Structure 1
Amino acid sequence: MELIEGDRLPGRPAVTPSVLGFALAGCGPGDTAPSLLEPRTDVAVDGNGEVVGAIGWAIRAQDGNGLLLWLHCAKDDQTISQGLVRHMLGRMGRRMVHAFAAPTALSFAGLPVGNRHGTAVALETEGFSRQGGWNYLHCNLDTLRRLPYEVIDITDCTDPYGWYVRLREKNGSPIGRAVVSRPVEGTAVLEWITLAQEADQSGHLLLRQCLAHLADRGIRELAVLLDMPSDRSCDSQDPVGALHRQAGFQQIDQLHPYTRRP
């Protein structure tokens, strides 16, 4: 758990023993039973018997492909990561392997390549290829002012598990909708949002208004995953990313899955 905590990104809740238990069993987010074949966790230890790295992997039932579910090591040490990956590949045999391709009980899909550079290099050294991914953005809501009037309706939803948000004018006219994951320790994920088209390009103000109402309900940190543009040179021109940044989100990292062919 100390290794996992050392890799935790801003906007993600601390991992509890029960969440770690689900991860060890091969469960995904919200699962209560293993959904993969033969989930396994292997650890690397130093000469004193201290755990310095851990890797979780399994076999996917429908196609027999291997899955590297999660990997954490001390100080993002490339040598430890590479040793764990090589060990896993040796146990899996000759098959297609996908790394960080699906969300787990511990994290989103995708390796944070900026914060986990050593692990990224280890994967590529062992023959994995980086795939398209997501920009991970984070917003701290503690600084937002409380709004003087209520222009939001929040109801529970189950797919995904969280809150369905309706943003409206004081006269009741709808101006936006969103889904937010149920908060854990004051942190939540903005699953999706759609806002009314504004002639004065004030969409980011509507988003900021929505964030202020979420802050009133105890959410202190909000994260969002945005698909990366296919042309990465146009990333700075992405209007969806620009809207979130104007509303106060900061980019933390890029999350990428990896694939290795046999």
Structure 2
Amino acid sequence: AGGPGGPGGPGGPGLDTAERGAWETVRFARDIARPTTLEYAGLMCEDFLELHGDRHHGDDPAIVGGLAALGGRTVMLVGHQKGHDTAELVDRNFGMPEPEGYRKATRLMRLAERLGLPVVTLVDTQGAAPGVGAEERGQAWAVAEAISTMGELTVPVVSVVTGEGGSGGALALATADRVLMTRNACYSVISPESCSVILFGDPGHAAGMAEALHVTAPHLLRLGVIDGIVPEPAGGSQRDPAAAADLVRAAVLEALADLAPLSGPDLVAGRHDRFRRIGRVADV
């Protein structure tokens, strides 16, 4: 359940070993001080060229992506983008993408396939943007198209949930060959508050719902939903973004190295099998 030693080795800062319950983990994952995708890009990549626009409607700042130099290879890096203060959070729509954000992500992933480049995604969102405007512009279709596109990519795909992985808005960037989570991230089909409202009529049972949903990395690793846990620096990624980026970088490069020998058809078949196994409790 661990990951690469990275900066937690001799002479470096310690790794986070605090035992946190599910609800505390959710709140930790939502900490606005945690590194954003653009910060990870700047810290873990030797170079990053951001690309913009969906070629249909506009450019959604809640998703960023572009060509990145990572460990001596070129990859397409795509991720949700939040912020650290009210102005930036509002500008980025709190990391909740509109349809054009998912269409931008799909465009960049298809470009990566044409160029034969691996795709690396960083996931940190409450979910896809709700609202009439998003639905009018085809939100459900855009999310579904992103998931479908990722499922059929013939290049390696590695996803890392670095903060909050919420519902289909997260899955649209996480249909990957290898899905990793940082230690204090969370990943769920629904937020604990929304689950509480559905079942009890109010959000007051969110803590209990977080436990029941098994949103933490150790639970999801045991269930086979994720493939590995990336350690975080002591106190969490928000305490030492540079060390956190080193750990994520090492984990991504290790995953890409494992996937490199596989052919395009083998990658697609393995990806399909991976997701079809999730939730299977018996053969029928």
After TM superposition, the score normalised by the length of structure 1 is 0.34
Comparing both structures, which one devotes a greater share of its residues to strand? 1
